[in-house]
Structures are given as structure tokens and as C-alpha cells.
Amino acid sequence: MAGSDGCAGDSAAGSDAEGLSFVVGPDLGGQRVDQALAELCGVPRAQVSRWITGGRVRVDGKTVERGSRRVREGHHLQAEPPEAPEARVIPEAIALDILFEDADLVVVDKRAGMVVHPAPGHASGTLVNALLHHCGSLPSVGGVLRPGIVHRLDRGTSGVMVVAKNDFSHRVIAEQFHDHSIERIYRAAVRAVPTVGSGRVDRPIGRHLRDRKKMSVRSRSSRPAATRWRVIERFPGAGVAWLEIHPETGRTHQIRVHLASIGLPVCGDPVYGRSRKRPHSGVAPILRPALHAAVLGFKHPRSGRSVRFESPLHADLADFLDRLRRGEEA
């Protein structure tokens, strides 16, 4: 989903009495039907595979038997997601920092350390647990464990997230994520000081060859990914730089993987941030990835008007930057 995500490019989306309906655009032509439908619906491919096994997916009116079938531009895809089973996620009264809410969506400022949805080892205390308590119910198209979730932020990443409150909003927002019309701006402290002021990483990302929990730019099965970055501030004494980042695509762990691949690992990242270079001994390290989703802009699914939400820098990151600045002045 990016991290860790709809209708692609010129693909057309809608709904009918029989469920979800899409027309394949040129950007999805040639893809596997399970992968294409997963991107169009903004759900995991494994979930689409279950729909196919249950005879719930059709291409041009014919039931799909294999997820590996290729689709072509102009193909009409239909899916009938099963009725959601009784929710297994327990609503929990967990405080949320809500930036905006209406009948269609809720925009939250996620704190670092909060897992977005239940997963092995994290059955409770997640953003979904909190949202179910706050909203009462969320759309089922994202799955029982991911209701309303259109995109994700990694556990250690703070900042702006949008959550859909109904199937219509989920479908429209997922489409914007897929065609990359969403405005997303991140900020990060990296453990190196670039000699240039900006750059762009254009390297496909896929599962790591040996560690399936990690992503890599050296995967045998990868998808296109691109990230732009520019330097906001340099701290040469600590060997750290403060960057603004614009992901052009939304692959899992994309920013962390891309920056690490060019020698700019995110400070505090225990997975991709290993480096022999350490901040100056006078600057205490940050205890989580120094990555913040600062801006999220998109078209409101109901009104179509442009909306834009910003998250101020969270206290731990602001304090880390202050310590870096004081270290440079010392």
C-alpha cells in the first residue's frame, strides 16, 4: 500500500449492483489480474486471491480461475467482495489527534510507535482499534483487520494519514494514491551530509532476497519506485542532514530503502539505517526512525475540491533538531 496503498492512470472505477467495477487503463495493461485488481481496490493481493478462489472476480463477464491471468487495456473487471465477517478487531478508547473529520473521511496525525492495523504481535493498541472506537464502524473493502485503511505509515513514522469512513471514499481515495495524484511531503534526518542540494532516486523496490520482512532495490521481483529529495539543513559536525522528501510512488518502506541505497540512511532506523557514521558524541541519538509525514493533499472524494493537511513536527524530532543545531553552535 507504500508503506506502507484505487484506480490507475486512465482506468475508470465505479460500483454497480454486483459489487466493484473497473475498466483497465493503459498503465495496468499486461499485469496479472490479481495484482491489477489489488491496486485498483487498494487491498492486499492475497485478499484478491481469496476473491478469485471463491469465484468472485470476472473479466469481461467471465469468471477468473487464476490470479496469474493477464489483463489488457479496456478489459472490464468486476469483483464481488464477500460480506465482512463479524469484526474481530476490538474497539479501544485510545486518544487520537484528529486534524479533520466529516461523513466521508477522518484525517489523523499518527504518533510514532503506533501500529496502523492489527498484525501478528500487535492485536491491540493500533490505529484501527482506536478508529473503530471513535467512528463506530469503518468500510470493509480494506479487509477485516484493515477497515478504512487506504495507505499506511510505518510504526516508527509519525504524521498525516487519511482513513476512509465508507466504501465510496475508500475507492476514490485509493484511486488517487494509485495514479500518484496525492501530494505527499515527508521530512527526515539522515546519517550523512549530501554534497549536492537535491536528487532523485529511481530504483525498483521488491522483497529482500533473504529477509522477507525487508524491502530492497536488489530484489528479483520488484516494481518501479521513485523518490525526490532536497536538503533543508546540514549539520556537518554531527554528520547529519535534514531533508524534504517527495515520494513519487508508494512502495513499502520506499523512503527508507531509497535513502539507504544512496548512502543517506534515516537516523534511528533499526532496519535500514545501519552505518558506521554516528552523530557527534554530544548529540543524543533519536530512538525511532527520524521520518515524518508532514503534508498530505488530495481531492475530497465527495466534493472533488482540493484539501491539504499538515502535521507539525513532533516533539521528539523537534528536540533532535534543536540538539543538532546547538551542537553546531558549540
DSSP per-residue codes, 174-185? HHHHHTT-SEEE
SS3 for 180? coil
**Spatial separation of the C-alpha atoms in residues 88 and 309, rounded to whole Å:** 31
Identify the bridge partners of residue 122 per DSSP, sorted by sequence position. 119
Out of 5, 109, 154, 269, pick the active-site residue.
154
Contact indicator for 318, 242 with CB cutoff of 8 Å = no
Question: Residue 105's beta-bridge partner residues?
Answer: 164
Residues 6+ apart with CB under 8 A from 188: 242, 243, 245, 255, 259, 266, 267, 289, 290, 291, 292
* Cα angle 60, 61, 63; round to 5: 105
How many CA atoms, within 13 angstroms, populate the side-chain half-sphere of residue 235?
Answer: 26
37 near 22, Cβ under 8 Å? yes
CA-wise closest residue to 280 among 197, 188, 156, 191: 191
Has 179 been annotated as catalytic?
no
CA 248 to mean position of chain CA atoms? 12
Alpha helices in 278-314 (DSSP H): none
Q: Which residues are catalytic?
A: 154
